[in-house]
Structure 1
Amino acid sequence: MSSKRYDESFKKKIVQLHLEGRAITELGKEYKVSPTAIYSWIKLYADESAISFKELSAIQKENKRLKQEVEILKQAMTIMTSK
């Protein structure tokens, strides 16, 4: 069984899609690439990304928290204006 060779731009595209939130298993099925290969590409290109995976995770958590806070404030504003 021969292993497939993927060019660098393809690998970076897959890594970028993962950074944008796509699941590794989903990408693997869609592009017919093993999840193991995708994990290795992520490791390989992690240093090239503008922010680290740890930073991205922290930003995503903060974004989620802020969205929840906005919703709470919207509800409070609705309650305050209805009185």
Structure 2
Amino acid sequence: MLQMSQYYEPEFKKKIVHLHLKEGRTLKGLAEEYGVSKASISIWTKQFREECQTNDEAQADYDYMKENLQLKKQLAELQKENDFLKKAAAFFAKEID
């Protein structure tokens, strides 16, 4: 059975692309949550990246999203390290007593 293609508003597409690029959400997760195919999200992301090549505002937005995602990953790693160090400090504090 052939499915009819569905029209999505540009704001909706932009929201999905932002969730993917800015927050690092997976294509699979977004597809399941919003009922959109992974291929569509991939195409929208590719179109956004192409738009960034010609539109300075879109390029700035894309750069911001990439930096934001990188900082979120770095923060998560530092939080893991901090939690480990807290546990190690508590362990060694018990050993001293």
Which TM-score applies when normalising by structure 2?
A: 0.61
Equivalence for 1:71: 83
Percent of residue pairs identical: 34
Task: Find the counterpart in structure 1 of residue 31 from structure 2.
Answer: 28
Structure 2 stretches lacking a partner, 5+ long: 53-57
Asked if structure 1 preserves the Cα contact closer than 8 Å seen for 2:17 and 2:44, the reply is: yes
Structure 1 residue 52, shift from structure 2 partner:
4.5
Question: Which of the two has greater helix per residue?
Answer: 2
Aligned equivalent of 1:81: 93
CA distance in 1, matches of 2:69, 2:14: 19
- Of residues 35, 39, 45, the one that matches 2:48 is 45
Q: How many Å separate the matches in 1 of 2:79 and 2:14?
A: 30
TM-score by length of 1: 0.69
Name segments (4+ residues, structure 1) moved above 4 Å: none
Secondary structure of residue in 1 paired with 2:81: helix
Alpha-carbon distance between aligned partners in 2 of 1:51 and 1:57, rounded to the nearest angstrom: 9
CA drift at 1:26: 2.1
1:12 aligned partner: 14
Please tell me the root mean square deviation across aligned C-alpha atoms, in Å.
2.5
